[in-house]
């Protein structure tokens, strides 16, 4: 899952991004409201971690736009504004949770898990292709009913392909979805990632194939019957 981290303290942002990465998330870090608005126009996020005291305003100003531009997004406010009235203000403005700085990273991850468990409307059914099933809501993948554990980038790649099963997805769209803003991406990184995922799915009998349009993009489709 892609996370938008809106935090103007670089050391805090790096620590949060590293912890999110170890937990399987792809984190995009921005340090101001205007940068966050630009990111929301480019990517789909399942979660936003929002600081309040930002260089260009109060992070709570962004809450209506987050909800409007990305319905279903979960919002966790992280801030040094810790009085009861400030917490109430943040929650009433639309945040799903509120955590005062300084905080424990383990508690943060527990609160993130709790936010993501909350219902946000009717969940879409899993995407089925061949023997492969991808539950977009829970991010669970299985082949013939057996769970498949994937690296976070493999998971992000497979999600994008499965959302567009049978249709070509452009390379730049895949790269934007799989890699974070600050990732140092080599020219052939996506090719290597696709090859690794393709082999895993083939070895496990997923019944799908990932087709390449050289220099353009990739498409996942049901494998022909043999």
Q: What secondary structure does DSSP assign to 114-175, as a single string?
A: HHHHS--SPPPPPEEETTEEEETTTTEEEETTEEE---HHHHHHHHHHHHTTTS-EEHHHHH
* C-beta of residue 46 within 8 angstroms of C-beta of residue 74: yes
Given a cut of 70, the residues of the chain with pLDDT beneath it are: 81-82, 119-125, 182, 226
Whether 69 and 41 have beta carbons less than 8 Å apart is answered as yes
pLDDT of 152: 87
Q: For position 165, which CATH number holds?
A: 1.10.10.10
Nearest to 205 by CA among 130, 126, 134: 130
| pTM score | 0.60
Tokens for 199, please give them.
Answer: 């082999």
Q: 111 and 6 share a domain?
A: yes
Residue 152 and residue 61 in one domain: no
Q: How many domains does the chain have?
A: 2
Structural domain harbouring 72: 2-117
Q: What is the pLDDT of residue 122?
A: 38
Phi and psi angles of residue 60, each rounded to the nearest 5 degrees, phi first: -65, -20
DSSP state of 224: P
Among 59, 93, 117, give the residue marking a domain's end. 117
Residue 138: inside a domain:
yes
Indicate if 132 and 215 belong to the same structural domain. Answer: yes
Q: Is residue 122 part of a domain?
A: no
The pLDDT value given to residue 121: 40
């Amino acid at each position: 899952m892609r996370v938008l981290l809106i935090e103007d303290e670089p050391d805090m942002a790096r620590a949060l991004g590293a912890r999110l990465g170890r937990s399987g998330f792809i984190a995009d870090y921005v340090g101001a409201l205007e940068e966050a608005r630009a990111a929301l126009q480019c990517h789909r996020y399942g979660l936003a971690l929002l600081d309040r005291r930002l260089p260009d305003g109060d992070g709570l100003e962004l809450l209506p736009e987050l909800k409007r531009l990305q319905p279903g997004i979960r919002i966790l406010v992280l801030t040094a504004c810790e009085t009861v009235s400030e917490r109430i203000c943040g929650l009433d403005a639309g945040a799903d949770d509120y955590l005062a700085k300084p905080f424990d990273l383990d508690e943060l991850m527990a609160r993130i898990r709790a936010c993501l468990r909350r219902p946000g409307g009717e969940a879409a059914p899993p995407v089925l292709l061949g023997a492969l099933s991808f539950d977009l809501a829970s991010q669970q993948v299985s082949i013939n009913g057996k769970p498949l554990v994937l690296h976070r980038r493999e998971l992000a790649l497979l999600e994008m392909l499965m959302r567009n099963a049978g249709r070509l997805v452009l390379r730049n769209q895949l790269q934007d979805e799989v890699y974070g803003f600050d990732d140092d991406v080599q020219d052939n990184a996506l090719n290597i990632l696709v090859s690794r995922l393709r082999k895993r799915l083939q070895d496990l009998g997923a019944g799908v194939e990932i087709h390449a349009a050289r220099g353009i993009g990739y498409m996942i489709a049901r494998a022909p019957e043999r």
